[in-house]
Amino acid sequence: MAPSSTTTAADEHRLLATEIVNRGTDTFSVRVRRRLPLPDFVNSVNLKYVKLGYHYLINHAIYLATIPVLVLVFSAEVGSLSREEIWNKLWDYDLVTVLASFGVFVFTLCLYFMSRPRPIYLLDFACYKPTDDFKVSKEEFIEMARQSGKFDQETLDFKRRILDSSGIGNETYVPKSIMSTQNIATMKEGREEASTVIFGALDELFEKTRIRPKDVGVLVVNCSIFNPTPSLSAMIINHYKMRGNILSYNLGGMGCSASVIALDLARDMLQANPNNFAVVVSTEMVGFNWYPGCNRSMLIPNCFFRMGCSAVLLSNRRRDFPRAKYRLEHVVRTHKGADDRSFRSVHQEEDERGFKGLKVSRELVEIGGDALKTNITTLGPLVLPVSEQLLFFSTLVKRHLFGGPRKENSNNNNSTMIINNGSSNNSTSSSNSKPYIPDYKLAFEHFCVHAASKMVLDELQRNLELSDTNMEPSRMTLHRFGNTSSSSIWYELAYLEAKGRIHSGDRIWQLAFGSGFKCNSAVWKAIKRIKKPSSRNPWLSSIDRYPVTL
C-alpha cells in the first residue's frame, strides 16, 4: 500500500469511536461513530470576518495612517525650495499667523493624545493552589465516586475511560464535598468552596502587589454556575471591607471563556474612570456543579473540572508602567449564540431523574472550531506581520473570486456507520485552491489556550500548526491542575513565568472558549523580563518535573 493510502487509513481510524450498546447475556452490538474534529481552517475561511478584522484595524490606526501623508506633502512642498526661499517665506508671515498656526498644531496634538485610549497595565496576578488535602489521583477520584454510592459500575467504568484519555494527571484538586452521600449542590457548600478559592487568590494578589483592597475602584467577578444572592462580588466586598463607591460586576453563565469577557469589561470601566485599579476574579465551583446521575453526556464535566481561581490586578495609571508586567494590546470576542446548535452545545438542564448538570453535545468540538475560526480570522489583521497579511488576503480574495472546493456532505457524521471491506473514495481539494493560512507563530511568542481536554488541544495544534512547545503551557496545566474553567489561561501564564520564558517585548495570546458558544482572545505584550517566578507561583514546587510526556 502506498504511504498516502496508509496515512489516509490512519487518519480515518483516528476519527472513529466505538461504543458497546444493547448488551445482553450472550450477545452485544457495537456502534461505530465518527468523531467530529475541528473544521479544516484551510478550506473554510470566511471573507467577512477578515473584513471585520481590518475594520477594527482601520478604526484604531486612522491617526497613524494620516501622519505619513502629511509628512510627504510637507516634504514635497519644502523640498523644492532653496534655503534662502524658505527664510523669505517664513519672514513673509506676520506674528499673528505664526501664533495661530502654532496654536492649531498644539490643539490638534493635545486632541490626539486625549482621544487615545488609556493604556491598560497588568501589575500582577495570582492563581490559587489548594492545599494537599484536596489533592486526588485519578484512581482516588474513581474510588471517591464509588464510595458516594451514586454511580453504578458501568458509570464508574465510563468515568475511568474518560479520565485515562483526558490528559489529566494525578495531582489535581477537588472539593471534599463530592465524597458526600448526601446532596452536595447546596448554597452552604457552594459558598464554602467559593470562599476558599476566591479569598485564597485575592489574599495572594494583595500581598504580591501591596495594594490595599480599599484602593480598588473596579471589581469584576465571573463564575458560570454558582450565582448566589448576595453575589460573589458582594461577598468579596464584605470580606475585604472595600469602599462604598466601588464599581462591582458579577458575571454568571458565561462559561470557560468568561475571564476574557470580564477582562474586556474591566478595560472599558478603566477607560471611563481614570487613575483607578481593577481586579478581575475568575473561578468555577466544582462541588456545586457535581452531577450525581448516570447520563453520560452530563458526566463528562465531572471528569474534567477541578478547583481553581485566578485574580488579576489591572491599572490605567501611566505612573504604574515601571512596575507593570504586561500591557493589554487587543481583546477580540466572538459569539455564536444566534445558532441553535451552538447555543445548546453546552446546556445546563435536568436529566430524566431530575438531577441537574451540564449536558455536553457530541458536536462540541466541531462547534468550538467554527467559533475559533471566526475569532482568529478577525484577530489576524490586528496582530499579523504585513507580509503574512498580504499573502493571506491575496490568496483569500483569489479563492473568493474564482471559487473554491465544494464542501463535503457531513450530514451523516453523527449517525451510526457501517464498516465494510470496500474501498472509500476520499476527495481531496487541490492545493492551489486553498487559501494561505497565516503563521500565527510570527505574531506571538507564547500561547495560552484554554486547557479544556487533550482531544481539543490536539485538534487546535493540528489546525493552527503549532509546535509542542507552543502547546506546552496548556497541556501541562491540564495535566497538573485539570480544567479549571475560566481561570485556566492564567495558570498557563503562570507556567510560562515559572519556566522563565517571558522576555521584554514578548507577545502572549490567551485564547478561551465556552458555552454560548463563545470564543474570546486577549493579547498581551510583556513590558519587562520575568526573571524568576514569585514565591507564591502555583507551579513553584513542581515546575522542575515539567514538561512531562502525556
Distances in Å between the Cα of 35 and the Cα atoms of 15, 374, 427, 471, 476 are 5, 22, 19, 22, 24
Is residue 444 within 8 Å of 383, Cβ to Cβ?
yes
- Cα–Cα distance, 363 to 35 (Å, whole number): 8
Distances in Å between the Cα of 252 and the Cα atoms of 150, 282, 304, 447 are 28, 11, 20, 26
Report the SS3 class of residue 353.
coil
The contacts of residue 483 (CB under 8 Å, 6+ apart) are 168, 256, 304, 305, 306, 451, 452, 453
Strand partners, 173: 135
- Cα–Cα distance, 460 to 364 (Å, whole number): 13
Sign of CA dihedral 393, 397, 400, 406: negative
Report the SS3 class of residue 214.
helix
The contacts of residue 24 (CB under 8 Å, 6+ apart) are none
Report the SS3 class of residue 312.
strand
- Cα–Cα distance, 508 to 499 (Å, whole number): 15
Residues of the chain with pLDDT under 70: 1-98, 101-102, 105, 109, 111-116, 181, 183-184, 396, 399-400, 402-437
DSSP state of 506: -
pLDDT for res 330 = 95
Instruction: Look up the pTM and report it.
Output: 0.79
C-alpha grid cell for residue 312?
Answer: 488579576
pLDDT for res 440 = 86
pLDDT for res 66 = 58
Report the SS3 class of residue 285.
coil
Amino acid at 12: E
- Cα–Cα distance, 464 to 447 (Å, whole number): 11
Q: Are strands 518-526 and 507-514 parallel, antiparallel or unpaired?
A: antiparallel
What is the CB neighbour count within 10 angstroms for residue 360?
A: 18
- Cα–Cα distance, 184 to 285 (Å, whole number): 11
**According to DSSP H, which parts of 165-257 are helical?**
187-209, 232-240
Amino acid at 503: H
- Cα–Cα distance, 503 to 152 (Å, whole number): 51
The set of catalytic residues is: 256, 335, 446, 450, 479, 483
C-alpha grid cell for residue 398?
Answer: 483569489
- Cα–Cα distance, 264 to 221 (Å, whole number): 12
User: Side-chain half-sphere of 521: how many Cα atoms within 13 Å?
Assistant: 23
Cα 462 to chain centroid, rounded: 17
Output phi, psi for 362, to 5 deg: -65, -20
Question: Which residue shows C-alpha cell 481561581?
Answer: 309
DSSP state of 377: H
DSSP state of 203: H
C-alpha grid cell for residue 515?
Answer: 458555552
pLDDT for res 418 = 26
Cα 401 to chain centroid, rounded: 33
Burial class (CB in 10 A: 0-12, 13-18, 19+), 322: exposed
DSSP, residue by residue, 67-112: HHHHHHHHHHHHHTS-HHHHHHHHHHS-HHHHHHHHHHHHHHHHHH
